[in-house]
Chains A and B, each alone.
Chain A
Amino acid sequence: MHNHHKAIFVDTFRCVGCHACETACKAENGVPPGPKWIQVMEVESKVAGEWKIHWKPMACMHCGSPACMKVCPTKAISKREEDGIVLVNKDLCIGCVECFRACPFGAPQIGEDLRMQKCTLCIHRTSTGGIPACVQNCPSEAMYYGTLQELSKLIRKKYTVRSMGRIAAVVNPTLRRDFFMP
């Protein structure tokens, strides 16, 4: 991946599993019930003796070196140089689901037309300066969109704010908190 490639960053500490991203995606891209271009996954686990629930919205990661692209026998999948978006050409897709097997994140979806479909990073919005529908509609402000460079700066800033918060809390040991870093 390159610095100017675009990505979505999810601050999982802020995610509450409301599924607004899924709904926004479906409304924006006209996806019927069935395929999910983004899906909020939920895991329940015990952390330091306490039950916790974790959520993570999963969409296409628009990988630097997409596993799906490599296995596609008809070269229907391509990665754009200008923004790194991975796209599928439905006219070339034969519905062999090789991409579905190769993707470690379960991103490729098969619709009623038996062709692969997936997140386009809202290319129709982002290529004209907009942001993806899921990011815009996240009420918890847990999702961020930008170039890798922008996102790395954002993550650093978040880290700094949180660690300063922790320093403030350490001054008073009763207020010490364990930070959950994305």
Chain B
Amino acid sequence: MIVGHNSSFTNVHSLPFLWDALERGAYLIVIDSYLTPIATKADLFLQPRPGTDAAMVLAMINHIVKKDLHDKEFIANYTYGFDELMKGASKWTLEKAAKVTGVEPEKIAKAAEIYATYHSHMETGWGHQRYTNGHQTQRAYSCLAAICGHVGKEGASCNYFELLAYKGLLNFDRVMYPRGAPHKTLKRRLINISTFGPALREAKNPPLKAVISWRGGLISQHPNVHQMTEVLKKLELFVSMEIFMTDDTDWADLVLPASDTFEQWGVHPSYWHPYLQIQMPVIKPLYESKPDIDFWCELGRRMGYEKFFPEEYTGLDWIREFLADDISDSTIKNALASNDPIRVPEKYAPRIPWSDRVFDTPTGKVELYSTGMVEKGKKYAGDWHPVPHFEETAESPVSRPDLYKKYPLMLISQHAPYRTHSQWFNIEEIQEIEGPPSIFINEKDAADRGIENGDRVKVFNDRGEISVIAKITNRIKAGVCEVNSGIWVKSNGSANVLLEQLIGGPRDVGAGIMEEYDFERDGHTIAYFNCLVQIREEGVHA
């Protein structure tokens, strides 16, 4: 079962394994609001209204328990709070879920039965999480896996985001606090990545006066583009390190030519694979460009911290610092010399995660009722509901009928198929494949508006408008439209212009100025898919 995860665009290296399994007779269920290439190969495809997955999953859980297909032994031994989970889930009948999600009740039942009955693996991505209720949706899916006992078994587990080998393998502290530098006692302030725009504006003590932006697109990747552009303009200094002239560089006071991947050292730990990859520079940095690490070290030295940033340190030396201490020199040498992949040590990236049934929770079990969230709820504001529940997203046809009247289409964005987010948007060879910025619009919605394939249309709401080419399709349901993420703002086709700054995660961080933050448990992504818009053919006035 693949959920909100388009491996055909984001994890192409996993595809051959999937095809091998399907060819041998495996059954594929895909749940997505968008008919992805993976979904088109599925035996059973469930296409819920964006942001309503949790309702469907709770109905699945209810149906499985009613049919007595749940794994009672696993529930008794390795989960906590089954009764509390069922208190909420038992209210969700198939019919009720069908009404909310728009998926036929028979399909929901069939998916639930097949998933529960057979040795099933669940691969969850980000698609269903990019909503204000995304954390509860993800929790619901995890609970579904747990009540079926599909956790930590060979070929039957539940994977969310392969961060396993990031946590132990990478020694973030060593890079944040170079050898000899005062450790952790330093007072620090954190800025939430999801609310970078508001944080820049709101930070008072002291105010933020300068930003050095590096390996990122602040303007093209964040919602509410106009707000972000305004705060960047107000900065005393905005430095952008880039290999291309992007949206950011247009507003930067200083553009520093960055090295590309071929010119510098890099390390790639597990990303849906258990291998350690060390990237070697294959050419010298061209012209005035500098590897990123050289820039930061030079900046450190010029600020008077020579002893922490030794001049003779190369990118490879910093990689040695970055990797866990028990990664030996010979492992690194092998990673550099060999064409064969080097396996990350089992303890950092186990072949079958949780096969020991030890879970990193306060009770040591899979928490269907999350005591961890209850504790967090005492400390921070937000939706720390300990049992997964369904709530409409912040901007949906149901939660905002007033907006829905004016803007009757839900806008979602899938990952850009031919780019890395906004990177490479300007490459002519890629534009040739991708075509001009466009919007996928359902046949029916197009007909209602007199829009034909290839028409230039205006997509708008109270926050802004974009001008894109209409592509008529049935890969999304009526009432939904889709614009690829990462399109540059200056091309006038960026979905982010239309989005509100909303968070997908339990913790309400306000403007995002924080003292501490737990990436995994406070769980943040930007709720990119909560957006209502209207489409009109360009030149036609309402």
Contact surface of A with B, Cβ cutoff 8 Å? 13-14, 16-20, 22-23, 26, 33-34, 44, 46, 50-55, 139-142, 158, 161-162, 164-169, 174-175, 177-178
Contacts and interface: CB of A to CB of B under 8 A. Distances in A.
B19 A14 contact: yes
A16 B35 contact: no
Contacts of B432: 33-34
B102 to A, nearest CB: 14
In this complex, the member of A51, A141, A178 whose beta carbon has the largest number of chain B beta carbons within 10 angstroms is A51
B13 interface: yes
A75 B434 CA distance: 36
B383 interface: no
B532 to A, nearest CB: 24
A33 B431 CA distance: 9
10 contacts: A16-B15, A17-B417, A18-B12, A18-B417, A33-B432, A44-B474, A53-B475, A158-B23, A167-B25, A169-B27
Nearest to A36: B432
Contacts of B13: 139
B309 interface: no
Nearest to A158: B23
A22 to B, nearest CB: 6
B37 A53 contact: yes
B11 to A, nearest CB: 9
Interface of B: 8-9, 12-13, 15-16, 19, 22-27, 35, 37-38, 40-41, 43, 45, 113-114, 117-118, 417-418, 428-433, 473-475
A178 B43 CA distance: 8
Contacts of A161: 23-24
B24 A164 contact: yes
Contact of B40 (A53, A142, A158, A165): A53
A19 B474 contact: no
A23 B474 contact: no
A181 B511 CA distance: 54
Nearest to A52: B40
Nearest to B28: A177
A58 to B, nearest CB: 14
A19 B418 CA distance: 8
B6 to A, nearest CB: 9
B24 A175 contact: no
B478 to A, nearest CB: 12
Contact of A174 (B24, B113, B430): B113
In this complex, the member of B25, B35, B45, B431 whose beta carbon has the largest number of chain A beta carbons within 10 angstroms is B25
B429 A23 contact: yes
Contacts of B27: 169, 175, 177
Nearest to B24: A165
In this complex, the member of A16, A54, A55 whose beta carbon has the largest number of chain B beta carbons within 10 angstroms is A16
A14 B41 CA distance: 9
Contacts of B45: 50
Contacts of B25: 164-169, 175, 177
Given A52-B40, A165-B25, A175-B118, A141 B15 contact: yes
Contact of A16 (B24, B38, B114): B38
Contact of A140 (B15, B43, B117, B433): B15
Contact of A44 (B16, B431, B475): B475
